[in-house]
Structures are given as C-alpha cells and as structure tokens.
Amino acid sequence: MTDLADSPAVRRLADWDHERLEGLADEYDTPLYVMDLDRVKENYTRFSEAFPNAEVMYAAKAHTGKAVLEAVLEAGADIECAAWGELERSIDAGADPNTLQYTAVNPPDHDLNYATDLAAEAPGLTITIGATDTLDRLAERGYDGRVAIRINPGIGTGHHEKVATGADAKFGIPYERVPEVADRVREEFELVGLHAHAGSGVLTEGLEEHCEAIERVGEMARRVGDAELEFVDVGGGYGVPYREDEEPLDLEKTSNMVRDAVGDLEATLKLEPGRYVVADAGLILSEVNTIKEAPDTTVVGIDASLATLIRPAMFGSYHPMYNVSAPERDSHPVTVGGPVCTSADVFAHDRPVANPERGDILAIGNAGSYGYELASQFHSQPRPAEVALEGGEARVVRRRESLEDVTRVEQ
C-alpha cells in the first residue's frame, strides 16, 4: 500500500524539483513528457481509501501508457476501457481480462468482435452498452455474457460543454427506457450492473449538480432491482485544480455526498477516476526558442505545440506554466505559443511567467491526463518522448518518434 503521509492532495507545479526537471530536459531533449509513477499510485490510493467498501477502477482513457497502467495495477486498481485498444493494452500491462470493463460507445465492428472474442476466453469481462442497437449486435455475435447498462441521467456536469456526457444523447440509454432495456438484457444476457458518467473535471463546488445525476442512477438501480445487480457504477469525472488559486477536491466531502446521493444499495458501488489519478503526476518540458516584442504583448515561442498538448486549443483549458530555468526572475505577462501555423496554437495569453529567455525550459503542468493520449503528428511533428519517474529513478517509457515513424505507414 502506498504511504500517503507525505502525499499532498494536489501537487502544484512549483512543488516539482526544478533542478531535476532541467536535468531531464538536458538529457532527453524537449518537448518531453514526464510522468511520476509514484504520484500516480499515491493518487489512486488516496481516492480509493476515501471510498471504503466501493470498487475504484481506473479509467484508462486518461493515460493509456503501459508504465501508467502497470502503476495503477500495482496500486490495486481494476481498469475500465472505452475501446478495444485499451483492452489489449491493459492486458499487455498485466491486467486479468476477467476484471476488465469495456464501456462501448457506438462501437465499431472491430471493437465488438475483439470484446466478444475476448469474453469467450475471459467470461468475467463486462461489456457496458449505451444503445439497444449494441445489444442486437452482441446477440448477432452469439454473445450472452455480462452486460451493464449505461444510463443517460439527463444531467451533464464538468469543466466544459464537450465533456458534459450526462446530458448528451450520444451517451447511454434514455433514462425512462432503462427498465424495459433491463428486462431485455435479463432475458438474453447476464445483467450485472448499471453505469453512468455525468461529466469530467468536477471539483468540490460542482459536486451538488454532479450528485443530482448520481441520485438518479441510484433511483434507477432500485427501480430495476439493485439486489439482483453486482454493481452500480457512477463513473468518474473527479477533477484536479488546474489553476493555482483553485482548491483540491475535498475527498471526504465527495465521498459523503456521493454515498448520500446514490442511497441505500445492495449492489457494490463502483467509481472510475482517471484524471484525478494521473493529471498532476505529469507535465511537459519545453524549450524557449523565440522572444518577440509585439505592440500589445511579449510573445514567447516554445517547441511544444497543440500537437504536443491540444487541451488549451480544444477546450480553452488552463495549464499552469513555470520557468524552471530561472524561477527567481521577475514575472511579467507573456503570450506563450508553439510552432504550429494556427492561432489556436497558444498555451497562455498575458500569463505572468518569470521572464523567459531563449534556451530556458518552461514546464507545463497537469499534463498527465488527456495529454499524450491526444497528441498528434500535425505538421509532420514526431511525437515527444516520455520519461517516467519511480523510486527516485528516471527511465524512458516512450521513445521520441522520428520522421520515419511519422511516414512509416505511407505506401
């Protein structure tokens, strides 16, 4: 069990060892992803201990790197997967396929073929469906195993409208149709649970609305007979503070509110944190290459781009930034952008940063979740290397791509 005595509820960017980070940038080049696996295990353990008598899975989509999956498995987590590749990578990292949960969202044929073939060898695999059409397709494949029903609670929460899945028709069975779908599943398959996910990035002040969705899930579980279910899965979505003045999620309050919202159940409560486990365990190191004085701002050009971290361009997300080369310098507002030819390739506007100079190393914090997972090769930029820290040692867990890697699949 990970010792949480010296593990704060949130790791701020200023808390990292800046000399070590500079050394990593020098040794492994930039842009560079850095993942602290000890922190990953601490975060999972802290969250799990806040929910005794519940099963806390890890949502693989937040970071599917093998080293991270191995770390959460070592910490005692089972894994929730949203695609066939995540299933295979979890097994490759050491997961027992009988413990995996596959949450199918408009699954392509290949995904369903993989999942049903896997279930033939590992009958403990659970397939979560969000459409009756998926039930038809499972039946066509001769599948009659474990099924959970994803509910659309009609309430979406989270840091951005693009992650408020609980009110999006794309996700889950419409709420009032769940009982009839449950009857069908019981006839043709093995109904083992209900599932819902309201949204992502929820902090303490957003818990009330989040728990309204969870309350509806609990009510539906009792309507369809929770005593006959193995679990009621209320998803993840639990956030971390990206801004320096935001407080970390109050886990004790969260646990109490979630338990109160879901109500009395005979089924086991499940949760699926992803972001909470990995976000503040990861950062990006990037080198300053350009300083340009413009009429209204100072533009600081770095070698990371939206191909390295797309969240600011996609969601308008705030990521803390820190000049690890010279944190003692006076700070002035600057605009930080990358080398991609679009105005969206900007990490910060008018952000106070210790006066950057060409050759300085800037750290971009809270990049452990949905960072490398969403990285691309736009502009024919090879994706960066990733270094893992564990037990005081650093090792490359993902080598830097070459242009040959970018063009390898071309014919």
Residue 162: the pLDDT is 40
CA-nearest of 224, 227, 211 to 264 is: 227
Burial class (CB in 10 A: 0-12, 13-18, 19+), 292: exposed
Is 70 exceeded by the pLDDT of residue 50? yes
Going by C-beta distance under 8 Å and a sequence separation of 6 or more, which residues neighbour residue 49? 4
d(CA 144, CA 119): 10
Residue 166: the pLDDT is 42
Is 60 exceeded by the pLDDT of residue 156? no
Is 80 exceeded by the pLDDT of residue 158? no
Give the distance, in angstroms, between the CA of residue 400 and the centroid of all CA atoms in the same chain.
22
User: Tokens 């474990």, residue?
Assistant: 146
Q: Where are the domains of the chain?
A: 96-273, 280-407
Contact 235, 198 (CB under 8 A): yes
Least reliable range by pLDDT among 20-34, 183-197, 206-220: 206-220
Residue 202: the pLDDT is 86
Give the distance, in angstroms, between the CA of residue 56 and the centroid of all CA atoms in the same chain.
14
372-390 pLDDT, tens digit per residue, is 999 999 999 999 999 999 9
Q: Please report which helix (H) or strand (E) contains residue 341, including its range.
A: none
d(CA 195, CA 193): 7
User: What is the CATH architecture assignment of 96-273?
Assistant: Alpha-Beta Barrel (3.20)
CA-nearest of 214, 222, 147, 138 to 179 is: 222
d(CA 78, CA 100): 7
Q: Which two tokens stand for residue 155?
A: 């309430």
Beta strand pairing status for 199-200 and 268-271? unpaired
Give the distance, in angstroms, between the CA of residue 59 and the centroid of all CA atoms in the same chain.
6
Residue 164: the pLDDT is 42
Is residue 225 helix, strand or coil?
coil
CA-CA-CA-CA torsion sign (326, 331, 334, 337): positive
Is 80 exceeded by the pLDDT of residue 155? no
Residue 183 to residues 116, 136, 188, 191, 225: CA-CA distances in angstroms?
A: 21, 14, 9, 9, 11
Q: Which two tokens stand for residue 232?
A: 């009621």
pTM: 0.94
Averaged pLDDT score across all residues of the chain: 93
Residue 358 to residues 287, 292, 305, 331: CA-CA distances in angstroms?
A: 8, 10, 17, 16
User: Tokens 């910060």, residue?
Assistant: 348
63-105 pLDDT, tens digit per residue, is 999 999 999 999 999 999 999 999 999 999 999 999 999 998 8
Catalytic residue among 176, 341, 404, 408: 341
d(CA 224, CA 226): 6
d(CA 401, CA 161): 33
User: What is the CATH architecture assignment of 280-407?
Assistant: Beta Barrel (2.40)
16-28 pLDDT, tens digit per residue, is 999 999 999 999 9
- How much of the chain exceeds pLDDT 70, in percent? 95
Q: Which residues pair with 331 in a beta bridge?
A: 354
Q: Which amino acid is at 313?
A: A
Say whether 341 is catalytic.
yes
